[in-house]
Amino acid sequence: MLSTEFKFTEEFARKSDENDPLSSFRDQFDFPVINGKKALYFTGNSLGLKPKAADKALQTELDDWAKLGVEGHFHGKNPWFKYHEFFTEGLAQLTGAKKHEVVAMNGLTANLHFLFASFYKPTKKRFKIICEEKAFPSDQYMIESQLRFHGIDPKTALVEVGPRKGEHTIRHSDLIDTIHANADHLALVFIGGVNYYSGQVFNMKAITKAAHQVGAIAGFDLAHAFGNIELELNSWQVDFAAWCSYKYLNSGPGSVAGVFIHENHGLNPNTPRLSGWWGYDKSHRFLMEPGFKPIPGAEGWQLSNAPVFAMAVHKVALDIHCKAGMPSLRKKSIALTAYFEFLLKEISKQSTDVTFEIITPSDPENRGAQLSILVHGKGKDLFDKVTEMGVIADWREPNVIRIAPVPLYNSFTDVYQLVKILKKNI
């Protein structure tokens, strides 16, 4: 779909939905209801919607627990002792990984700490970390505490790359230049693959290459990238990555997260790690012998047995995502976000009180499903009014609205309705 064909009409939106091969996926999700009507839901970048099939999947595990007790580990419908294995194929597909490079486990921030334990190995000479300025708060605290854990003052070791004055996104060349400028002391480049605030997508392949050129490790937080953009972590040679499953992956609040560990490290039993019994060689796990023998690959980073109830929902959501397929989702996402951008520009022309400045990059290559909009004028008033009218979006102080048209369940008509409501209130 070309943006020159876009029209600010209900008919155009409806026709686009009719031509959308993914339109039926919407029916597989429960939408919140506001004032007796299905909400216009645009916060799938924060908490994705609930798959209708989640109840049954969860009930299956509860029933097995009731009927089998501990025997559910081996004789359940989906035996719990190998529950994490049910995710291997889907996670590998969504991240462009080999199957032995991914595993579902823990929560996101916990996983980042575990990955730093393996991949941030500061020496007297190499101890610096490059990250993006104003990273997601949890990532900031994680990095800072890791540095202090190693007895390093963040002031001397943390190099943050931010947008230039008057700009809202980070120039790729600034990131690469910073890597080279710190070549001798750089231990790790750690960046959000898609920035949570601006929606900017980073060139992970090029960043990884630059990090490796200077002898550093490259890792990514994929909280906003996983299920949103296409990833090729294996061929990009990314060293490690982690994500959560409750944003674009719709697996429920605080559901189980996941990690990628490149086979270059994962298949090496000597890669250092903090270990637990679930990462131990499967055939001998229950012999409970001293001395840790890791499962080859990312599975060898597991600590605990699988949180089956959270994972049951994750499995349902992952299956839906894989069925839709990331290439098709991305194709629709690019069109849907471009349509939203087009409509916003249309109403911005007409307004006097409020103007919109989109801070997310305009090139589809450099953004995912989200547009972050600086609202000049009565921003919070507008946001409150729009919320009353059944729109669920995200407000960030002082004046940014983040809106994510999610290709799996949002329609062109949703986007049209949203902008019509915005138009009425500016």
* 370 Ramachandran zone, left/alpha/beta (phi>0; psi -120 to 50): beta
The answer to whether residue 202 forms part of the interface with ligand PLP (CB under 6 A) is: no
Alpha-carbon span 359 to 347, nearest angstrom: 17
The answer to whether residue 136 forms part of the interface with ligand PLP (CB under 6 A) is: yes
Whether the CB-CB separation of 72 and 52 falls below 8 Å is answered with no
Whether the CB-CB separation of 334 and 371 falls below 8 Å is answered with no
Which secondary-structure segment (H or E) carries 356? Answer: strand 355-358
- Indicate the residue among 185 and 402 with the shorter CB distance to ligand PLP: 402
The answer to whether residue 132 forms part of the interface with ligand PLP (CB under 6 A) is: no
The answer to whether residue 310 forms part of the interface with ligand PLP (CB under 6 A) is: no
Give the helix ranges, DSSP H, for 69-187.
72-75, 88-95, 108-119, 137-149, 154-157, 172-181
Report the nearest approach of ligand PLP to the CB of residue 109 (Å): 3
E strands along 244-324, which residues?
A: 258-261
Report the nearest approach of ligand PLP to the CB of residue 399 (Å): 20
The answer to whether residue 301 forms part of the interface with ligand PLP (CB under 6 A) is: no
Report the nearest approach of ligand PLP to the CB of residue 207 (Å): 16
The answer to whether residue 221 forms part of the interface with ligand PLP (CB under 6 A) is: yes
Report the nearest approach of ligand PLP to the CB of residue 223 (Å): 3
Closest CA to 16 of 278, 374, 327, 339: 339
The answer to whether residue 307 forms part of the interface with ligand PLP (CB under 6 A) is: no
Report the nearest approach of ligand PLP to the CB of residue 220 (Å): 10
- Indicate the residue among 135 and 298 with the shorter CB distance to ligand PLP: 135
Residue among 84, 185, 224, 402 that touches ligand PLP (CB under 6 A) = 224
Which residues, 72 to 111, sit near ligand PLP by CB under 6 A?
107-109
Alpha-carbon span 386 to 98, nearest angstrom: 44
CA atoms within 13 A on the CB side of 128: 22
- Indicate the residue among 54 and 108 with the shorter CB distance to ligand PLP: 108
Which one of the spans 166-174, 216-224, 326-334, 373-381 is the region binding ligand PLP (CB under 6 A)? 216-224
Which one of the spans 12-20, 132-140, 308-316, 391-399 is the region binding ligand PLP (CB under 6 A)? 132-140
Size of the site for ligand PLP (CB under 6 A): 12
Closest CA to 237 of 204, 203, 266, 194: 204
Residue among 20, 139, 239, 414 that touches ligand PLP (CB under 6 A) = 139
Report the nearest approach of ligand PLP to the CB of residue 139 (Å): 5
Q: b/e for 34-49, b at 16 or more Cβ within 10 A?
A: beeeebbbbbbbbbbb
* Torsion sign (Cα): 147, 151, 154, 160: negative
Cα separation values, 158 from 70, 149, 286, 359, Å: 47, 14, 42, 26
Q: Binding residues for ligand PLP, per CB under 6 A?
A: 107-109, 136, 138-139, 192, 196, 221, 223-224, 244
